[in-house]
Amino acid sequence: MRTVRQLLADKPAEVYAVAPDAPVVEAIRLMADKSIGAVLVLRGEMLAGILSERDYARKVVLQGRSSADTPVSAIMTAQVVTVEPDTAVPRCMRLMTDRRIRHLPVMESGRVVGVISIGDLVKAVIADQQLELEQLQRYIAG
């Protein structure tokens, strides 16, 4: 069974983040520039929260706030669900489904070492199923 560590090995190592006092528009620009759906909010090297497109839509757009005048800390999700590198992929999928989230920061020794998305997990599950199918076909044909 694949682990988060294995998923991170197949991804670029860069983690995109903004500071809590950054204006929301800066975080949205970063997400647009990098084609990502969420950014971490870091206070130095400490995880302070996560900001997703969903947070933006619900807490800025629907509440009529200004993206330029609102700090990220005012709309970020501060209670962040995280995983460790040795967490199994099915456990991550359960967490994301149960909590209705799409991104999981990966923490090791109190530091952020990566982020996995629901897309990363789906890709891994499909690859594992394809491998199992091929092995079964070889077994049956052999």
Query: What is the gyration radius of the CA atoms in the chain, in angstroms?
Result: 18
Per-residue model confidence (pLDDT) at position 83: 98
Give the chain's domains with CATH numbers.
4-141 (3.10.580.10)
What's the half-sphere exposure (Cβ side, CA atoms, 13 Å) at 111?
A: 4
* Separation of alpha carbons 139 and 142, rounded Å: 5
Mean pLDDT score of the chain: 94
Least confident segment among 58-67, 80-89, 90-99: 58-67
Query: Is-contact 51 39, C-beta < 8 A?
Result: yes
> Which residue has 């800025």 as its token pair?
60
User: Higher model confidence: residue 62 or residue 31?
Assistant: 31
DSSP track, 29-94: HHHHHHT-SEEEEEETTEEEEEEEHHHHIIIIITTT--TTTSBGGGTSB-S---B-TT-BHHHHHH
**pLDDT given at position 127:** 85
The pLDDT value recorded for residue 27 is 97
Where does the pLDDT of residue 42 fall: very low under 50, low under 70, confident under 90, or very high at 90 and above? very high
**Residue-level pLDDT at 111:** 95
Distance of CA 135 to the CA centre of its chain: 31
